Amino acid sequence: MQTYILQRLLLAIPTVILVTILTFLFLRVFLPANVIDQIMGEYARTDLELRAKLEKELGLSSGLPNQYAEWLGVAWFWGGPEGVLQGNLGESLYNGKPIMSELIHRVPVSLELGLWGQFSALALAMPLGVWAALRQDHWPDYGLRSLAILINALPGFWVAVLLLTFGSLWFDWAPPLRFEYLWDDPVAHVGIMLTPALLIGLTPSGGLIRLVRTQMLEVLRQDYVRTAYAKGLASHAVLYRHALRNALIPVVTVVGVGLPNVIAGTVIFEQIFLIPGMGRYLVTSVDNLDYPVILGLNLIFAVLLVLAVLIVDISYAFIDPRIRFS
């Protein structure tokens, strides 16, 4: 077991590194316009002196491998600046704020929003999926499946904007303007996160309903369920004690693996509901071509994803003995 975990961990590291190298190369080498253009505005391509000066100031003038080494923190070992390995993600090229401290505030917010989203998707999908499975091939099943697929087909941001517009028009409703952190004002915080979380959970809930349904169907067909019925257990006992738990394992897997993507997908909802998470930070920095931030964010996203996959793999190993001993 330990070797399995160790193995997976070790494999994860080169993956993350490759991701950062890819992003780094991509941003520094293939960029047609860059950050200096942004800062210099209209004289960006004509005032070469100032350009050279700014490039030097911002650390964009030394060679690429050097820049990467500095960013990674490898250079620290021979007297260079701190880098990722030392926990320093650098500073924003524009406002000079250290990226790490920004992310410390933002990552929990996006993570939380993503979690709430998945949770609400699950909360919606479970009862509906189970019901559809129990009423398979009858009208509730068809209706729910179609509804699920319909929900899945709606662009989430479209629903959000519709909600904002018509909520305001018909109900004089507007989401809270100011964001409150959980530790500052828990009640307000929940109020702020509620609507976007529900909306984030809406699209994946469609897929989850179908998944829960499929899993339930498969489980209900199993011998041990038939045995339980034969033993004389009431149907709801069969359901909750035996069937549901087993049915949910792959569902939880999907939810877990889906989480980092949901984090990436919170971008739009953060923008619409004014939530200061990672997504908005990313969009702003891509617009501003703020290299260190884009790099840092890609790194964090990659790490989160790899971690999520790792956790899922490891929990699989715990649950399914066959994998442990393969």
**Within 51-90, which residues bind other proteins (CB under 8 A)?**
none
Its sign, for the CA torsion 117, 120, 124, 129, is positive
Q: Which stretch binds other proteins (CB under 8 A): 71-79, 82-90, 172-180, 183-191?
A: 172-180
Interface size with other proteins, residues (CB under 8 A)? 92
Task: Tell me the closest approach of the beta carbon of residue 319 to other proteins, in angstroms.
Answer: 19
Q: Which of residues 212-231 bind other proteins (CB under 8 A)?
A: 214, 217-218, 221
From 61-69, 188-196, 275-283, 316-324, give the range in contact with other proteins by CB under 8 A: 275-283
In whole angstroms, the minimum distance from the beta carbon of 62 to other proteins comes to 20
Chosen residue from 177, 187, 230, 234 binding other proteins by CB under 8 A: 177
The correct pick among 81, 86, 97, 186 for binding other proteins (CB under 8 A) is 97
Minimum distance from CB of 281 to other proteins (Å)?
Answer: 6
Site for other proteins in 281-310 (CB under 8 A): 281-284, 286-289, 294, 297-298, 301-302, 304-306, 309
| CB of 71 closer than 8 Å to CB of 90 | yes
Look up tokens 């809930």; give the residue.
Answer: 205
Residue 161 in the binding site for other proteins (CB under 8 A): yes
Considering beta carbons, is residue 61 or 232 the nearer one to other proteins? Answer: 61
What are the helix (H) ranges across the chain? Answer: 2-29, 35-40, 48-57, 64-72, 99-134, 139-153, 156-171, 186-220, 223-231, 235-237, 244-273, 278-288, 291-319, 321-324
**Whole-angstrom Cα Rg for the chain:** 25
Residue 211 binds other proteins, judged by CB under 8 A: no
Q: How far is the CB of 298 from other proteins (least distance, A)?
A: 6
Q: Are 217 and 133 in contact (CB under 8 A)?
A: yes
Q: Which of residues 231-270 bind other proteins (CB under 8 A)?
A: 260-261, 263-265, 267-268
Interface residue with other proteins among 175, 196, 204, 296 (CB under 8 A) is: 175
Sign of CA dihedral 92, 96, 100, 106: negative
Measured in degrees and rounded to the nearest 5, phi and psi for residue 59 equal 75, 25
CA–CA distance, 125 with 217 (Å, rounded to integer): 15
Please state the closest distance from residue 296 (CB atom) to other proteins, in A: 12
CB of 78 to other proteins, least distance (A): 25
List the one residue out of 135, 157, 132 whose CA is nearest residue 145.
132
Rule CB under 8 A: is residue 326 a binding residue for other proteins? no
Contacts 24+ apart (CB under 8 A), 65-69: 67/24, 67/28, 68/21, 68/24
Q: Give Cβ neighbours of residue 108 (< 8 Å, ≥ 6 apart).
A: none
Closer residue to other proteins (CB): 88 or 288: 288
CB closer to other proteins out of 83 and 206: 206
- 51's CB contacts (< 8 A; 6+ apart) are 36, 40, 44
154 binds other proteins (CB under 8 A): yes
Question: In this structure, are residues 12 and 306 in contact, taking their beta carbons and an 8 Å threshold?
Answer: yes
